[in-house]
Amino acid sequence: MPRDTSIQSVLVLGSGPIVIGQAAEFDYSGTQALRALREEGIRTILVNSNPATIMTDPELADRTYIEPLLPQIVACVIEKERPDAILPTVGGQVGLNLAVALEEAGVLSRFGVRLIGAQVRSIKKAEDREAFKRAMERIGLKVPQSQKVRTVQEAKEALERIGLPVIIRPSFTLGGSGGSIAYNLAEFEQLVLLGLQASPVHEVLIERYLLGWKEFELEVMRDKADNVVVVCSIENFDPMGIHTGDSITVAPIQTLTDREYQVLRDAAKAVIREIGVDTGGSNIQFAMDPGHEEVMVIEMNPRVSRSSALASKATGFPIAKIAAKLAVGYTLDEIQNDITKVTPASFEPAIDYVVVKIPRFNFEKFPEAAPYLSPQMKSVGEAMAIGRTFQEALQKALRSLELDSYGFDLASRLSELAPAEKELEIIRSLKDASWDRVWMVAEAFRTGLTLDYVYGLTKVDKWFLSQIQDLVQFEAELESIHDFHGLPEEKRYEILSKSKQAGFSDNRLAHLLRSDPSGIERLRDQAGIVPVYKAVDTCAAEFEAKTPYFYSCYQTEDEVPKSSTPGVAILGSGPNRIGQGIEFDYSCVHGVMALRSLGLRAVMVNCNPETVSTDYDTVDRLYFEPLSFEDVRHVLLAEPLQGAIVQFGGQTPLKLAMALEASGFRLLGTDPEHIDAAEDREKFNVLLHEIGLKTPRNGVARSVERALAVAEEIGYPVLVRPSYVLGGRAMEVIYEASSLLGYLKRNTKVSFEHPLLIESFLEDAIELDVDAVSDGRQVFVPAIMQHVELAGIHSGDSACSIPPYDLPETLVQGVLKATKELASRLEIKGLLNVQYAIQNGEIYCLEANPRASRTVPFVSKASGVPLAKLATRVIMGQKLDAPQDLIAHKKGLYFVKEAVFPFLKFQEVDAILGPEMKSTGEVMGVGRSFSEAYLKAQWAAGSILPKSGKVFLSVRDADKSRIVPVAKGLLALGFELIATRGTKAALQDHGIEATQVNKVHEGRPHIVDLLKDGQIGVVINTPEGSGPVLDSFDIRRACLVYNVPYMTTIAGARAALVALEGMHDKIEVLALQDFHNA
C-alpha cells in the first residue's frame, strides 16, 4: 500500500522539557519522525517548548514553534498552519495527553485535522487502567487484580478485595509520578492520597503488587495491513516494583525458553491489536512469576517510548522513523531496512551481542531523598553498553556511568563501615533496592553471602546474580596473584586476554593486580590484546551491513572497513545527569553536521541511548562506547583521524583532554593548555588581573585549615565549590565558619582530591551568561543573557532572557568587550562561555568555560546562528566571516529560558533553589515583550499564572521590604493578598492590606488547607537561611502537588509580576522561520 497522498502536511508534537521519565529519547524520536516525513515530501510543523532539542532546529521542520505544549497554544498553531494530520505518538506522554485534550476540546474536528499513529480511543484504552483491564480480559490475558478509585474510602474498600501489598498508580502521569507500594494500612491511606493528588484526573489504580515477579518488555510495531513484528525483547534485571526506567535492563531476554518467549510474543501481538494502535510502535510490559507458571500484562504504551529508543539503538531498527512512515500509509514490507539495504523492515532483528542499559541517578543532589528505588522513576539519565556477553556489557555499562567506578569496585560508602555495619548496610541495600544495588550484589558475594540468600533479598533472577557472582570469583582469582608483573609473559597475556573478554577495565584490573592502568595498557599494547569492533546490523551477520554502527569486544575479527580519508572524532557527553544534559548532545550533533557539511568524516563516540548523537543516521561512524579514557583511546587508535573535538560534550570529554593529549592524540580546538588556564582558578585570576577585569575575591584551599583561613581573609558570605565541576555539584553559599566546617566534613572527597575554590559571594548581584565563538582572531558574541535569579542561584536553575531585560547599555557593551578580550587571551578556537555578575554597576567575571555550555542551544535558537556548527567550522580552520555581534538583541523579540525541576519525584526534598543545580530540563518562551516571553516560558514549564485570585505571601525578614513593590503591583492588578503574620505586618507598615493566614504549625485552617482547597492562585514564599527550611516545607510541597505556581525568590516574584502585568487575552504563536528568515 503506497503512501496516503491525502496527507500533505503533518503537525508533530514534541514532548517538552526534559523531566524524569521523559527525556532526550523524544528528541531522538521526533527528529527521526520529522526527517522521515520530509523524505516523503510532507510539509512538517513542529510544536515543542524545549529549545535544547535537535528537532526544534529550524531546518528540521518547515515550521518550528517553540511554544508551550498546552491545548490552547497548539490550537493556535493548528489554526495558523492548518495541517492535514497530527502525529502525537513521538512526543511521549505529553504528546498523547495533548492529542486527547485537542480532541475533547473539539479542536480536531473544528479544523478538520485527523490523528495519525494512534486514535484517541486507543490512547484511552491503553491509559485508562479499567478499560485496559477489560480489554486484556477480552483477549484472554491476565492483568494484576486492580481497582480504580477516586477517594481514600473507595480505596480502602478495594483493598479488602485485593489485599496487601499493593501498588498505587495515579492515572495519566509521567514516569509513574506518585506511584508507590503500600505494605501496611497506615501507609496505604497516605500513599493513596498522594497518588490522587498526582493524577490530573484525581484517580488512582489500586493494584496487586506482584512481589518478586520478573519483568519483561516487548517492542512491537504494527502497520495498517495488520502486520506485526516484535523489534526487540527486553528483560529487566530488577524485578517488579522498580520502575523500568530505574531498572537495569538487558536485551534480548536472557532467561526464557523459546516456548515461554513465544507466549509473550503472541500476547504482545494480541495486545497491540486489541488496543487498536493503527500504525507504529508500542511498548508492552509483562510480569512472570519466578516459577515461570503465570504471565500477566502490566501495561502498554501506544507510542514510541524510552524503551523504543533503547530498542532502536540496541538493534539498529529505527522504530520512530519507521513509525512515521507507517503513519502516512506505508506497510512494513514496503520500507527498506536501511542497515542491510536489501531486506525489508518487516522482520524481527536478530542480534548477536548483549545490550545492557543502566540508569544514572543524581541522589547526591537531593541528600534529603531516600536513595531507594520504587515504582516511581527517579533516574535522570541512562547509559547503554554492548558486549558479546552479559558480563562484558554489564562491566562496560558500569564504567559508562562516569561515577568514577570502573567495574565492581567497592562502593565508597561502605569503605568506612565496620564489618558488622557493612553487612547490615549491604543487606538493607539489597532488600530495599538502593540505587547502587548492583554494586552491593557484588559486595554481598564478596562477603560470602550465597546465591540463594542474595536472591531472597533482591528477587533478581539467579541467572543475573550468578553472572555477578562469577565476576566476583574471577576478581578474587586475579587478586590472589601475588606478583603479576613477575609472571612469565605468556601467563600475563593469558590473564589479560581472559579478563578483557569478560569486560574488565584497565582501571579495575590495575586495582586487582596491584598494578597501574598505564602498566596494564602498555602490556596489552605489547601483546596486541586490543579490542576489535563489530557491527550492529539487525541480522546477526546474515546479510552484509551497510551502516557503520560499532561496538568493541575482545574477539578475533575486526570488521570496520578501513577508511582512506582521515575523519574527525567528536566525544559525546555520556549519560544525562543534572548539569550535563541534552544541551551537550545538541552541540555534539551540530558538530557532526558541520563536519559532514565540510565533507569530513564524522566519528562519534558516546554511550547514551536516548540521544540523537547515537543515531547511526546522524554520523558517518558511530562507536557505542563508554567515555572512559581506555575506551576512547581505543576508538581513536582504531580510526584514522585528523583529531578529536572535546569541547562539545560538556565536562566528560574535557576531563579526558589532558590524558588524551599526553597519549599523543591531536585535539582540535582550543589548546588544552589554554583550557587549563581557564579551568585552573589561580591561573585564571592572573589572567583576569592582566586584562583588568574584576572577579570576586577568591582563593584556593587544599586543606581544612587553609579553607578556614581563606574564607576569613575573603570575608563571609563565601561561595565554595570543588574545582572542575559542572552543574554546581557541592556548591554552597556559606555564611559562617561553623557552616564551612560542616561543609568540609560532608564533602571530604571533594576537598582533598581536588582543591576547594572559595570566593566572596556577591549579594544582590545580577548574573549574566555569554556564549561566544572565536577563531583565534575574531570573536563573535551573538547574545548576552540576563538571569532572572540573582547570584547565589545556579545559573542552570534560573530563568534567563535574551536580550537582557533590565540592564543599561553601557554594561551590555562592557560585557561584550570583556568577553572578546577573554576569548582572545585564552586563544579560544571554538566555543567559550563566560559568566558575569553585576553588583552596584560593576562587572565581575565569575568564570570562563572554554567549551560548549548549557545555553548554546538556547542562544542558537534566539539568534538564528547555529553556534556549535559555527564553532566546528572554526575549529576546522575556517575564519569567522564578519559576524554580527548581539544579533539576537536585534530581532525585536524576547527569548526567555526557564528551568524545570524534578522536585515532585522526591517527596522528601524541599523545592528551593541554591548554588547547586537541580533542574533537569528547560523550556523557552518567545514574545514581543519580556513579559510575554516570560509568561510563555512559565506556561511551558507548567506554571500557569492566573489572571486573578489570591496570592499568598510569606517572605523571610531580609525580603520584607523588597516584597512591597511586588505586593503593590499585585494589588494594582486586582489580586487579593493573603499573608502570614510577619509578612502581613511588614506589608501593613507600608499601607498594604492583606488577609492573615496561619502557618502550618499555627493551627488550622492553615495555608496548606487553603492550597488544597484550590483557593490560592500564586505562592510567593522565600525561605530563611540556607539549609532545608522546615516550617515552610509543607507549603512548597503542597504547591508542587496541587500545581500552584510558586516563587521562592524575590527576583522570581518580580519577574512573575512583570509577566502578569503584560498578560493579555490574545496569544500570538511564532515560528522560528518567521523571525530568522526575515
Which residues contact another protein by CB under 8 A? 1, 225-227, 229, 233, 252-259, 261-262, 265-266, 269, 290-292, 331-333, 342-344, 346-354, 388-390, 461-463, 466, 534, 539-544, 555-557, 559
Nearer to another protein, 344 or 715 (CB): 344
Provide, rounded to whole angstroms, the least separation between the CB of residue 552 and another protein. Answer: 13
Min dist. Cβ of residue 464 to another protein (A): 10
Element (H, E) at 1076: helix 1072-1077
**First CA to last CA distance, the chain:** 41
Cell numbers placing 411: 562502593
Residue with cell 554552597: 732
Task: Please check whether residue 726 is in contact with residue 650, taking contact to mean a CB–CB distance below 8 angstroms.
Answer: yes
Residue type, 581: G
Tell me the closest approach of the beta carbon of residue 239 to another protein, in angstroms.
Answer: 15
CA atoms of 980 and 997, how far apart (whole Å): 5
Closest CA to 170 of 373, 362, 361, 21: 21
Residue (292 or 956) nearer to another protein, CB: 292
Give alpha helix (H) positions in 303-411: 306-315, 319-327, 390-400
Q: What is the largest CA-CA distance in the chain?
A: 89
CA 596 to CA 602: how far, in whole Å? 6
Q: Which is nearer to another protein, 342 or 985 (CB)?
A: 342
Identify which of residues 353 and 366 has a Cβ nearer to another protein in the complex.
353
1018-1022 sheet: strands from edge to edge: 995-996, 976-979, 950-955, 1018-1022, 1046-1047
Which of 333/1009 has CB closer to another protein?
Answer: 333
> What is the edge-to-edge ordering of all strands in the sheet holding 85-87?
63-65, 43-47, 9-13, 85-87, 114-115
The answer to whether the CB of 857 falls within 8 A of the CB of 52 is yes
In this structure, are residues 1027 and 901 in contact, taking their beta carbons and an 8 Å threshold? no
The set of cell numbers assigned to 213 is 515477579
Nearer to another protein, 347 or 752 (CB): 347
DSSP character at residue 585: H
Owner of C-alpha cell 549491604: 426
Q: Is 734 exposed, middle or buried (0-12, 13-18, 19+ CB in 10 A)?
A: buried
Choose between 18 and 229: whose C-beta lies nearer to another protein: 229
Q: Which is nearer to another protein, 349 or 381 (CB)?
A: 349
Closest approach, Cβ 223 to another protein, in A, equals 8
What DSSP designation does 797 have?
A: G
Q: Could you count the other beta carbons within 10 Å of the beta carbon of residue 713?
A: 12
C-beta of 546: minimal distance to another protein in Å?
14
Q: Phi then psi for 1076, rounded to 5 degrees?
A: -95, -25
| Shortest distance, position 275 Cβ to another protein, whole Å | 19
Place of cell 509520578: 177
DSSP result, 44-69: EEEE-S-TTSSTTSTTTSSEEE----
Smaller CB separation from another protein, 47 or 386: 386
- Report d(CA 147, CA 618) in Å as an integer: 46
d(CA 105, CA 114): 14
Q: How far is the CB of 463 from another protein (least distance, A)?
A: 5
**991: left (phi > 0), else alpha (psi -120 to 50), else beta?**
left
Nearest distance from residue 654's CB to another protein, in Å? 35
Least Å from the CB of residue 555 to another protein: 4
Which of 225, 487 has the CB closer to another protein? Answer: 225
Judge whether 316 and 78 are in contact, CB under 8 Å.
no
C-alpha to C-alpha distance for 879 and 873, rounded to whole angstroms: 8
Q: Shortest approach of another protein to residue 331 CB, angstroms?
A: 7
Give the Cα separation of 712 and 689 in Å (integer).
Answer: 22
The DSSP call for residue 486 is G
Closest separation in Å from C-beta 139 to another protein = 15
Smallest gap from Cβ 40 to another protein, in A, equals: 20
Specify whether the CB–CB gap between 859 and 886 falls below 8 A: no
Question: In the complex, what is the shortest distance from the CB of residue 478 to another protein, in angstroms, rounded to a whole number?
Answer: 19
Sign of the CA dihedral running 882, 888, 889, 893: positive
Torsion-angle region of residue 566: left (phi > 0), alpha (psi -120 to 50) or beta?
beta
Give the whole-angstrom CA distance, residue 366 versus residue 20: 14
User: Would you say 81 or 537 has its CB closer to another protein?
Assistant: 537
Handedness of CA 543, 544, 546, 547 (dihedral sign): positive
**Cβ nearer to another protein, comparing 264 with 843:** 264
Of the two residues 260 and 1034, which places its CB atom closer to another protein in the complex? 260
Q: How far is the CB of 106 from another protein (least distance, A)?
A: 37
C-alpha 295, offset from chain centre: 33
Question: With respect to another protein, which residue has the nearer C-beta, 345 or 668?
Answer: 345
CB 399 within 8 A of CB 384: no
Residue number, 228 or 818, with CB nearest to another protein: 228
Nearer to another protein, 57 or 461 (CB): 461
Choice between 424 and 541, CB closer to another protein: 541
Element (H, E) at 466: helix 462-479
Q: Which residues pair with 301 in a beta bridge?
A: 283
Q: How far is the CB of 528 from another protein (least distance, A)?
A: 15
CB 1034, min distance to another protein, A: 48
Count the Cβ atoms, other than its own, within 10 Å of residue 394: 26
Q: Least distance to another protein from the beta carbon of 35, Å?
A: 25
User: If you count DSSP H runs as helices and E runs as strands, how many of each does the chain have, helices first?
Assistant: 38, 39
Q: How far is the CB of 542 from another protein (least distance, A)?
A: 6
Q: Smaller CB distance to another protein: residue 177 or 337?
A: 337
